[in-house]
Structure 1
Amino acid sequence: MKNFIPNRTIEYNDNRVSRFIAQYGKCAVSGIELGFNDWHSHHKNPYHLSKDDSYSNLIVLHEGVHRLVHMKDIDKIQSLLNALQLNNKQKEKLNELRKQCNNKTIRLGE
């Protein structure tokens, strides 16, 4: 209840907590154990297109990974990638989410 987002639907708030529990409090991309304030819920199919707050459309990500999903500035992407130290398998998961948002993929060797 402390993480309730007042400007979002009840469905969204319920499903984001359910998704957090289902993922055992870990980021779906990095596997990092998440605290109370460092996680974000991400709409796999962008909300502005789908208006879908369903459980199946949400995924829980570390806030830095979530920023990488949406980021477009190559220098900022590289800086955050360096900080997070994602391996190639994690970058593949990240790229799948980026594709769903119509963002360019990140090269795995970078």
Structure 2
Amino acid sequence: MTSQKKRTIKNLKEQIKKIKNKTTPKEVNKLNAMILGSHNYYKMATQVNLDFSKINFLVTRTLYNRLKNVMKKEHKISKAYQKLYREYNGKKYTISETTIFPIYGIKTKPPMNFTQETNNYTIEGRKIIHEKLGGNLNKLIEYALRNASEYNSTEYNDNRISLIAGQQGKCGITGEYLKIGDMECHHKNPRELGGTNEYKNLIWVCTDAHKLIHATVEDTINKYMDKINLDIKGLKKVNSLRKLVGNSDIQISS
């Protein structure tokens, strides 16, 4: 057994032990993040499907033995799960209302063949990268899983993670791919005004767009309008969200 495989097994088993000691959605989400992260990291390795089949056998045995008393028979399949693993029909394990990603469910991917045109410094280059990476959706979901807040409800954490998949990893206003460190989950109808944590009341937006939703000072509004350069469709989306938080429409002078 390779050292990488041993390390993957060890890390997953250690997280299972943590779940046994502290059975919370946050800890289960961390396990899912580790599974997805391993799939992302090893998806270009040769014969990786066989490796993850063996990893699945060893880790699932520990998972069942340690957590069988807290497992639920009814499964809660999130939109993120459906997006990433819907074609896998093996046995499912659900703990703290969170269904664990299939450890064996790795999808192999050939290495990207970069050309001189593939770079971040031209419109064409960025387009090629985005088309090949698909906005790096898996990385965004992994990030959200690792950073689920224990101070928010399970409903909120589940819906914010699922919404990344629902929006295809894109900002709900600009349509550009979201980036880790530049993405915020916004309540359309604010909680202080009676808004809920329901899926339909949430939207992922880039940080500048989020600031524009809440901005009230004209100079600040102009600053972020210049930064994100919205078209008419994007402006309508911003204004609809601004209205819900109690702010006036942004007008464009002709």
- Give yes or no for TM over 0.5: yes
Please state how far the C-alpha of 1:88 moved relative to its aligned partner.
Answer: 1.7
* From 199, 203, 206, the counterpart of 1:59: 203
**Alignment partner, residue 24 of structure 1:** 168
Q: What is the number of residues matched between the two proteins? A: 110
Q: Determine the C-alpha separation between the residues in 2 that align with 1:87 and 1:105.
A: 15
Query: Which string of whole-angstrom CA distances, capped at 9 and with x for unpartnered residues, describes residues 56-91 of structure 1?
Result: 111111111011101111101101111111112111
- Give the TM-score, by structure 2 length: 0.41
State how far apart, in whole Å, the 1-side matches of 2:150 and 2:225 are. 31
What TM-score do the two structures reach when normalised by structure 1? 0.92
Distance 1:63 1:6 in 2: 22
Alignment partner, residue 249 of structure 2 = 105
How much does 1:100 deviate? 0.8
Structure whose residues are more often helix by fraction: 2
Structure 1 window deviating more from structure 2 (14-23 vs 33-42): it is 33-42
Unaligned runs of 5+ in 1: none
- Look up the match of 1:44: 188
Flag the 1:53–1:47 CA change in 2: closer, same or farther, 3 A: same
RMSD between aligned alpha carbons?
1.4
> Which residue among 9, 12, 17 is the counterpart of 2:153?
9
Structure number with greater CO (CA < 8 Å, separation at least 6) is 1
One-letter amino acid of the structure 1 residue matched with residue 169 of structure 2: G
Q: In the alignment, what sits opposite 1:70?
A: 214
